[in-house]
C-alpha cells in the first residue's frame, strides 16, 4: 500500500519538525520545506527516504515553483500543513512604532505565502484531503506588542475560513497549538525562561486527533482536543 503524502512548510524545527517526525513514524511520506538548508539536511539524515527536503523560503516564487515540481513528481497529496511563520521584530514592537517593511515581511510569510502554497498544491490534494493552517491565540487576543504577528494570523484565520467555505469537499482547518518551547516563542520573550512551555511533540497528538476525527471545518485549538470537547 502506498504511503500517504503530506506537505509541511517550516518542517526543519519546532512544531513542523515534531509533526514531520510523527507522520513519518506512522507510515507517511513528508515533503518538507524550510529556510535553513543545513537543518533540513539533518532532518533528511534522520528520517531517510520517507522525507523529501526542498530547502527554501516560501515567500520566494522561484522556491514555490521548485516545490510545485516536487509535489507533481510525488503525485497526490493527502495533507497540506502551512506551518512556516515569521514573528517579526524581536523584542516585539508596539504597532505605533512597528517598522512597516518588517510588517510587510510578516504578512508575506504568514498570509500570502500560505495562500500561494495552497494555490499550487490544492489541485493535487486527494478527494477528501486535509489542509491545516497553523494559527495562534494572538489572532484572537489583543496582546500588546503582538499586533504584527497577531493580525497576520487573524488574516490567515479568515483566509482559512473562506477557503473552507469554497471547498466543502475538503477538510480545512485553522489550528492553534498554543504556547510551545520553540525558537520563535523564545524570540518573542528574549532573555526570559520559557522552560515551562510544553515541547512541540507534546502538542502533535492533538493535531493528529483533529486529522483522525475530521470535525466540521472551523478554527480549533490544541486544548479543544486535549480536553475532549470536539464533537
**Which strand ranges, in their side-by-side order, compose the sheet holding 77-82?**
51-53, 29-33, 5-9, 77-82, 125-134, 171-176, 219-221
Q: Which three cell numbers stand for residue 61?
A: 516564487
* C-alpha closest to that of 154 among 163, 141, 166, 145: 141
Q: Which three cell numbers stand for residue 130?
A: 486535509
CA distances, 148 to each of 10, 86, 99, 180, 182 (Å)? 19, 10, 10, 19, 19
Q: Which three cell numbers stand for residue 140?
A: 484572537
Identify the active-site residue in 107, 149, 173, 220: 149
* C-alpha closest to that of 152 among 126, 178, 195, 113: 113
Beta-carbon contacts of residue 49 (< 8 Å; ≥ 6 apart): none
70 burial level (CB within 10 Å; 0-12, 13-18, 19+): middle
* C-alpha closest to that of 56 among 76, 41, 75: 41
Our answer to whether residue 149 is catalytic in this structure is yes
Residues carrying an active site annotation: 149
Amino acid at each position: 500500500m502506498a504511503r500517504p503524502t503530506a506537505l509541511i512548510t517550516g518542517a526543519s524545527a519546532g512544531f513542523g519538525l515534531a509533526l514531520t517526525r510523527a507522520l513519518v513514524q506512522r507510515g507517511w511520506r513528508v515533503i518538507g520545506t524550510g529556510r535553513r538548508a543545513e537543518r533540513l539536511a539533518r532532518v533528511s539524515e534522520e528520517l531517510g527516504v520517507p522525507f523529501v527536503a526542498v530547502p527554501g523560503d516560501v515567500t520566494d516564487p522561484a522556491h514555490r515553483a521548485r516545490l510545485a515540481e516536487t509535489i507533481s513528481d510525488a503525485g497526490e497529496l493527502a495533507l497540506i500543513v502551512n506551518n512556516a511563520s515569521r514573528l517579526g521584530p524581536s523584542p516585539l514592537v508596539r504597532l505605533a512604532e512597528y517598522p512597516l517593511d518588517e510588517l510587510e515581511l510578516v504578512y508575506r510569510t504568514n498570509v500570502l505565502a500560505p495562500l500561494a502554497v495552497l494555490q499550487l498544491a490544492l489541485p493535487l490534494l486527494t478527494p477528501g484531503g486535509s489542509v491545516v493552517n497553523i494559527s495562534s491565540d494572538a489572532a484572537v487576543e489583543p496582546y500588546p506588542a503582538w499586533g504584527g504577528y497577531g493580525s497576520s494570523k487573524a488574516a490567515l484565520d479568515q483566509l482559512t475560513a473562506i477557503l473552507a467555505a469554497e471547498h466543502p469537499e475538503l477538510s480545512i482547518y485553522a489550528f492553534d497549538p498554543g504556547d510551545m518551547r520553540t525558537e520563535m516563542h523564545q524570540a518573542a520573550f528574549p532573555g526570559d525562561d520559557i522552560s515551562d512551555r510544553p515541547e512541540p511533540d507534546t502538542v502533535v497528538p492533538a493535531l493528529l486527533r483533529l486529522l483522525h476525527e475530521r470535525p466540521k471545518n472551523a478554527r480549533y485549538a490544541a486544548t479543544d482536543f486535549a480536553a475532549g470537547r470536539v464533537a
